[in-house]
Amino acid sequence: MLLIGFSLKAQEVISPGSKTQTTAGHELSWTVGEAVTTTISDGTNTLTQGFHQSKLIVTAIDELLVSDLELKVYPNPTSEFVIISSNKLYDKSSYSLFNLSGKLLENKIISASETRVNLKNYASGTYLLKLQYKPNQSLQTFKIVKK
């Protein structure tokens, strides 16, 4: 009896044909025979998601629950800090920074339309930044990658 074991350490696409095209700072990669899992369209732009997703960085973990609020967290990935930017403030708005084990690293009040979260003293890795507009009322959670 022959037993063969293996372990896959990274995403990989095996295909008879693929290509990457770069123009004006934008890059598009495709693979012939790529399986499609989802197509999303807003009427102007269409995104078809499949298994080949090069340079994909997901930042928002969940949907923004307040419709008239504009919320941005940038730069991501980062090496020193991220900025939380909002078009409006709520009384007692706050952020909580967690590591991927769920340990609370920082919890602070957001008191300005732009708030800087210092990540300089944390190790390289992935963190979760949870934004709240009232105690126990979540706005949105972001995945932050620190280089």
pTM of model > 0.75? no
Burial per residue of 50-73, b for 16 or more beta-carbon CB atoms within 10 angstroms, e otherwise: eebeeeeeebeeeeeeeeebebeb
Identify the residue with better confidence: 33 or 19: 19
Average pLDDT in the 57-81 region?
Answer: 76
The answer, yes or no, to whether residue 27 has pLDDT greater than 60, is yes
Largest CA distance in the chain: 68
Identify the residue with better confidence: 61 or 58: 61
Second-level CATH architecture of 71-146: Sandwich (2.60)
Q: Where are the domains of the chain?
A: 18-50, 71-146
In this prediction, residue 56 has a pLDDT band, given cuts at 50, 70 and 90, of: very low
Residue type for position 85 = S
The string of DSSP letters for 103-117 reads: -EEEEEE--SSEEEE
